[in-house]
Amino acid sequence: MPTGIALRDVREQLFAAAERVLRDHGPNALTSRAVTDEAGCAKGVLHRHFTDFDGFLAELVLRRIGRVDDQAEALRARVGEGSIADNLLDVLVDVFDPIALAAVALTITRDGMRTKLREAGVAGIPVLTESVAMITDYLTLERDHGRLPASVEPDLIALTMIGTAQLIFTAPDESVDERAALRRTVVAALPSGS
């Protein structure tokens, strides 16, 4: 389905189209045809730039991991500033956007994509694993900075927060105030006064 329109930065357009499909229709709707239709290009364009659809999806997830890495850097810059609970709440809400949630679902359900991610050196469940590392690192730095007691176990708190956040943001009950539920989790997981 040639469109007659020259595509600039085709890979970026395809990734943006995939994110729109994920955001608007969920992971079950994500097919190579849906992506190329959303991007307004022929299906063959995707296959000229990626080995296969699982390779495209693996790169899409790697981009989300890169976004978590950027968020981790911004969170580290907040060490010693503001409320620890507020800092964590802000980053958790940002991490668990609809695209990240869909990327996690894709990773769990697509064996071929998971294989490609493993070949790229990705361990665990992408996005979630990096988010746990981000929170652990931040809490360790805050503890070293003296804003958390020495007895705090950053890795356990991080696992609690990421696991609970995943459950909160994937809950089918749309009446749940996700941010309020997440705030309760963050506050409960931290020592009082953090």
pTM: 0.87
Grouping H, G, I as helix, E, B as strand and the rest as coil, residue 42 is coil
Instruction: Output the DSSP codes for the chain.
Output: ---S-PPSSHHHHHHHHHHHHHHHH-GGG--HHHHHHHHTS-HHHHHHHSSSHHHHHHHHHHHHHHHHHHHHHHHHTTTTSS-HHHHHHHHHHHHT-HHHHHHHHHHHH-HHHHHHHHHTT--SSTTHHHHHHHHHHHHHHHHHTTSS-TT--HHHHHHHHHHHHHHHHT-S-TTS-HHHHHHHHHHHHSPTT-
% residues pLDDT > 90 (the chain): 74
Average pLDDT over residues 170-194: 86
d(CA 74, CA 94): 12
Written as one letter, the residue type at 160 is T
d(CA 94, CA 87): 11
- What is residue 79's predicted lDDT score, i.e. its pLDDT? 97
CATH 1.10.10.60 location in the chain = 7-49
Kindly report the number of other CB atoms within 10 A of residue 120's CB atom: 14
Average pLDDT over residues 47-75: 94
d(CA 59, CA 131): 18
Average pLDDT over residues 114-136: 94
- What is residue 30's predicted lDDT score, i.e. its pLDDT? 93
Q: Which fold has domain 61-189?
A: Tetracycline Repressor; domain 2 (1.10.357)
Residue with tokens 């959303």: 38
% residues pLDDT > 70 (the chain): 95
For 148, counting Cβ atoms within 10 Å of its Cβ (0-12 exposed, 13-18 middle, 19+ buried), the class is buried
Pick 7-49's CATH classification: 1.10.10.60, 2.160.10.10, 1.10.10.10, 1.20.1540.10.
1.10.10.60
- What is residue 9's predicted lDDT score, i.e. its pLDDT? 87
CATH 1.10.357 location in the chain = 61-189
- What is residue 175's predicted lDDT score, i.e. its pLDDT? 80
